Amino acid sequence: MTVREWRLLVTESTDGATNMAIDEVLWRGRQAGTSPPTVRFFGWDPPTVSLGYGQPLDDSVDVAACRRLGVGLVRRPTGGSAIYHDGPERELTYSVLADGTDLGGAGDLLETYRWIAVALLRGLRGLGAAAEIVAVPEAEGPTPAFCFARTGRYEIEIGGKKVVGSAQRRQGTCFLQHGAVILGVDEPRLRAVFPTTRDPLATMTTLEAALGHRPKFEEVAVALERAFEEEHGLTLRPGGLSPEETARVAALVAEKYGTEAWLAGTA
């Protein structure tokens, strides 16, 4: 049976280690039944490159350039490839933390991707973007180091270019899915942090390019909140972390996401 009342958590600007710790705590809490299903919208301060769970930290990301530009580095608990997350003026990141039963039985990877994608699509179209879901992508071959270099199943494009990049991690039917919704782009910085990606803008686009203006973080968050509710019949209740969740986040930052061993992939 679908759980109709979910938590809505909005944290506009948080550092990378804290962002990833929050999502893991909510995911683990959902597995244990101590946290409700949650939709979260968040930003990054400072701007941060996030690596996929199993992605090597190699020369595809210029660590020296990140340090020079004040860009953070973090490894996600979800898979996929690296993303440059700009501040909330240029990106909104979402996460969905739930069990398949919360979705009415949409249990496997592709079903949950699609469940989330149709809500994202509704929200982006509500903003005026001519967005489309890519059910069967054309490109194959080795996974690129830069997430927006290739569109995956049930990701979203505008005009044949990717505007939302997503990745998921599962244990049983309980999952955490992340995704970056690109509002605008700092092209020089993007090229600096991904030096081996020949032309990062060849395969990605932004809502600014699609709409002729850059929507604000708050505007996109409201549109997506409404879309999840209308598409899936949910009620999203604004809320924060419990004291227990807050304590677990702090511990995970100190013991995991803020450590060099986790970033290097050796933890």
**pLDDT surpassing 80 at residue 95:** yes
Across the chain, mean pLDDT equals 92
Active-site amino acid positions: 147
Band of pLDDT at residue 9, cut at 50, 70 and 90? very high
pLDDT tens profile 188-208? 999 999 999 888 898 899 999
Q: φ, ψ for residue 156 (rounded to 5)?
A: -120, 135
**pLDDT surpassing 60 at residue 27:** yes
| Rounded average pLDDT over 18-23 | 98
| Rounded average pLDDT over 52-61 | 93
- Which domains are present in the chain? 5-264 (3.30.930.10)
Greatest distance between any 2 Cα atoms in the chain: 50
Strands 131-134 and 91-99: unpaired
**pLDDT surpassing 60 at residue 2:** no
Band of pLDDT at residue 139, cut at 50, 70 and 90? low
pLDDT value at residue 151: 76
